[in-house]
Amino acid sequence: MALAGRFFSRDEYEELFAEKDSDRRNRAFFRLWTMKESYMKAKGMGLSLPPESFSVNKIEDFSFFSPDIVEGYGCALCYSPDEGIPEVKFISSLLA
């Protein structure tokens, strides 16, 4: 959780640690982490956009899709609503 203090905005950090249940906090951490990562990629900036410089719950020009795919794993897709909802294909194995 030390990463949260370094890479999450103050609002995100405070909201995360307001959750007292450690399992729920861990799931929230990874969901938030994947959403931040997907936003930086959608903007085409990668890590040149400091992840602590924005809060995902305050982003208005993009939307997020964060499905529960497999227990213990998370993912997030960030997209521009102006371009429509992207087609998502889940591949069960990299060797398929």
Per-residue confidence of the chain (96 residues) as pLDDT tens digits? 788 989 999 999 999 999 999 999 999 999 999 999 999 999 999 989 999 999 999 999 999 998 877 777 888 999 998 888 888 777 776 655
Per residue, the 3-state secondary structure of 17-78, as one string, reads HHCCCHHHHHHHHHHHHHHHHHHHHHCCCHHHCCHHHCCHHHCCCCEEECCCCCCCCCCCEE
72: left (phi over 0), alpha (psi -120 to 50) or beta: left
Rounded CA-CA distance 63/51 in Å is: 17
Residue written as token pair 């499905």: 67
Full-model pTM: 0.84
85: which DSSP letter? P
